[in-house]
Amino acid sequence: MNHRAVIFDMDGVICHTNPYHAEAFRQFFDKRSIPYTEQEFVDHMYGKHNSYIMKYFLKRELSDEEVSVLEDEKELLFRMIYADHIDPIPGFLAFLSNLKSTGYKTGVATSAPYLNLELILNKLAFAPQMESILSSEDVKLHKPNPEVYLKSAENLQVPPAHCLVFEDSFSGVTAAINAGMKVVGVLSSHSKEELPPCDHYIRDYYDIDVDTVDRLLA
């Protein structure tokens, strides 16, 4: 049995959802006449939790209840926009299958709400291949805090040092590093220079194979 694990973020890692999140936020902000720039989306949206995003763009403190209501509205918009566009990053499903055939434990650890994750899981049907599935509802502290990755390692019964994380955002990479895990940077939304230093980088899953994972965790 392989006592090593690979853990995937979802947005920008399993699927290239960020353009659709951006469109949902545009509609959400335009409805309220809230100004924004594309650079602000890069700096303050991708990889961030909704509580941070809402407070940043609305420029005021929000109660947990208000964040929840606003988040529900925005994420419903996202699911409506994205439902007909769900497609994995090239090579992901084959790479996952290869990991499983060689005994790797695998998990998903996302800052997104479970309903978003469920939408993608139902379409791509890879949930049975995951021994751990965590969304924003499963943690109290969000990335860059390492809680979601440490909890994933606990679920997988694999030490953090034996886990490899695939991440695409500054906060996500930081969370994985803070958890004591190796990290592959997925360059779907950011360049290498915009991320903390990673152990390896890919543009899609044709850029990596199980032998490379073995070497990274050796």
| 64 and 155 inside one domain | no
Other CB atoms within 10 A of residue 31 CB: 10
| 132 and 168 inside one domain | yes
Q: Which of 47, 82, 117 is the last residue of a domain?
A: 82
- Which residues form the domain of 123? 5-15+87-216
| 94 and 171 inside one domain | yes
Q: Tell me how many domains the chain contains.
A: 2
d(CA 44, CA 38): 10
Pick from 199, 144, 168, 1: nearest CA to 92: 168
| 112 and 207 inside one domain | yes
pLDDT in tens, the chain (218 residues): 468 999 999 999 999 998 999 999 999 999 999 999 989 988 888 878 888 899 999 999 999 899 999 999 999 999 999 999 999 999 999 999 999 999 999 999 998 999 999 999 999 999 999 999 999 999 999 899 999 999 999 999 999 999 999 999 999 999 999 999 999 999 998 999 999 999 999 999 999 999 999 999 99
DSSP tag of 206 = G
Other CB atoms within 10 A of residue 14 CB: 25
d(CA 130, CA 140): 22
| 188 and 118 inside one domain | yes
pLDDT in the model for residue 77:
96
Q: Which of 49, 82, 115 is the last residue of a domain?
A: 82
Q: Which of 53, 82, 111 is the last residue of a domain?
A: 82
pLDDT in the model for residue 23:
95
Inter-residue contact 184 to 166 (CB < 8 Å): yes
Q: What is the CATH number of the domain that holds 123?
A: 3.40.50.1000
pLDDT in the model for residue 2:
62
pLDDT in the model for residue 1:
44
| 9 and 62 inside one domain | no
| 74 and 107 inside one domain | no
Its pTM stands at 0.91
